[in-house]
Amino acid sequence: LPEQQRMIIQLRDIEEYDFDEIAKILDMNNTAVRVALSRARKTIREKLTNTHNYGIK
């Protein structure tokens, strides 16, 4: 993941910050944080699905 998306995942899912706090820390607006989080989760989901389904037809 890009650095910004990694930071957002870390702050939101691991350290449990809310969107306002993340936006303030990273100097972003709430909408941008939500979009970046959504994209990061989608990327992780796709990578895990591809890895898990490797070789299954």
| Residue 47's CATH number | 1.10.10.10
pLDDT digits over 1-20, tens only? 999 999 999 999 999 999 99
Average confidence score pLDDT of the chain: 93
Number of domains making up the chain: 1
Phi, psi dihedral angles at 3 (to 5 degrees): -55, -45
Is the model's pLDDT at 57 over the cut of 80? no
Angle at 19 between CA 13 and CA 22, to 5 degrees: 80
Is the model's pLDDT at 54 over the cut of 80? no
Q: Is the pTM of this model over 0.95?
A: no
Is the model's pLDDT at 55 over the cut of 90? no
Q: Quote the domain boundaries for residue 35.
A: 3-53
